[in-house]
Amino acid sequence: MLATNLYAQKDVEGSKDVPYISRFKGSWIVWQQTLNFDSYYILKIEDNKLNRYQVEGKIIRTQYDIEDGHSVLEILKSYENALKSAGFKILMTLNEQQYSGNLSEDLYNAEFNGMNKLPREAFKPDYRDKYYYFAAKKHINTKDVYIVGFISQWNKPFITLDIIETQPMEEGLVTAKKISEGIDAEGHIAIYDIHFDTGSATISSESADALKNIAEYLNAHKDKKFLVVGHTDNTGNYETNLKLSQERAKAVVNELTSKYGIDAAQLKAFGAGQAAPVASNANKDGKKMNRRVEIVVM
């Protein structure tokens, strides 16, 4: 993967390179559209069935033609390597052997995924030979960024690439529904509505609504067990932050079991300290994002 002006002369007028990921070498833009805010479906495999979940935000949609001589697998691996190097997590990949239907139709035209429908002026990806679908995600500053690609090949390779910039679902008061959506999509969710006194594990009274909603979700999923993970920013030293995060996780578990009737066997406290930031600790907003409690499926 590389960014270069070598192919700019072939790009459709008015288009430009997308953020976060550079184009595949030997490709050029044949169509592009930016939507300031819209809904989008991302695919997932659940109980061996193809399913979907919805995100909302700014969407940049780009289609690339590619010089002949490249396979869909080569293109996929190039994107995967570039995304991993940039810190993105690969959520899933899917090929024609794993899906018996017409994936390009389901992704971009059919009712199943109608929110992702391509407009009339876009090119409709063909699935007749080989294809790969991939989805990746990274938390950048205050946004969750998803990159979704459909690489198809008939006479030659073709890429439809969507970039979705969305505010994290955990912003705003956490609800049982938001917890369910987050855990169904990724197996965990960060909670920002549980507040502690500075430098202590004492839970403030303003956290009551969030704890009530977490308890509601846990009571509806008594067949599952969860980790309650405490996280801090990098203020102070590592050992102090590790201890504080563990104490805060224990405080949340104790609150849920003693005041909200959650079975203690359903929860386990764990402290990660400053070891798993989701944003830069170089600024106030990043530190705020890193101070959190996460609910993780065991």
Residue type present at position 218 = L
Least confident of 98-107, 264-273, 286-295: 98-107
How confident is the model at residue 8, as a pLDDT?
44
State yes or no: pLDDT of 161 exceeds 50.
Answer: yes
| Angle 268-270-271 from CA coordinates, rounded to 5° | 160
Rg (CA), the chain: 22
Query: Of 40, 28, 9, 116, which is closest to residue 17 (Cα–Cα)?
Result: 28
Q: What is the pLDDT of residues 20-60, one digit of tens each?
A: 999 999 899 999 999 988 888 888 876 667 777 888 889 99
Please compute the mean of the pLDDT values over residues 115-130 and round it to a whole number: 79
Integer Cα distance of 139 and 145 in angstroms: 6
Phi then psi for 258, rounded to 5 degrees? -85, -35
- pLDDT computed for residue 106 by the predictor: 77
User: How much is the average pLDDT of 69-95?
Assistant: 93
User: 170 — phi, psi (to 5°)?
Assistant: -80, -10
Tell whether the model's pLDDT for residue 72 goes beyond 70. Answer: yes
pLDDT in tens, 189-204: 989 889 887 788 999 8
The Cα 285–Cα 291 span in angstroms is: 10
Q: How far is CA 124 from CA 7, 25, 60, 104, 219, in A?
A: 22, 22, 17, 8, 45
* pLDDT tops 60 at residue 6: no
Given a cut of 60, whether residue 172 has pLDDT beyond it is no
143 vs 137: which has the higher pLDDT:
137
pLDDT of 274 reads: 94
What does the alpha-carbon distance between residue 147 and residue 242 come to, in Å, rounded to a whole number? 33
**pLDDT number for residue 113:** 53
Domain covering 176-297 in this structure, CATH number: 3.30.1330.60
Structure tokens at 71: 């396979």
> What is the spatial distance between Cα 260 and Cα 136, in angstroms, rounded to a whole number?
36
Per-residue pLDDT at 75 exceeds 90: yes
Domain boundaries defined on the chain: 8-166, 176-297
What is the reported pTM? 0.56
Alpha-carbon 218 to chain mean position: 23
Q: What contacts 89, CB < 8 A, 6 or more positions away?
A: 136, 137, 138
Terminal Cα distance for the chain, rounded: 36
- pLDDT exceeds cutoff 90 at 120: no
Please determine, for residue 101, whether its predicted confidence score (pLDDT) is greater than 80.
no
Answer whether 255's CB lies under 8 Å from 203's CB: yes
pLDDT number for residue 57: 86
Question: How are strands ordered across the β-sheet holding 143-153?
Answer: 27-46, 49-66, 157-166, 143-153, 130-140, 89-95
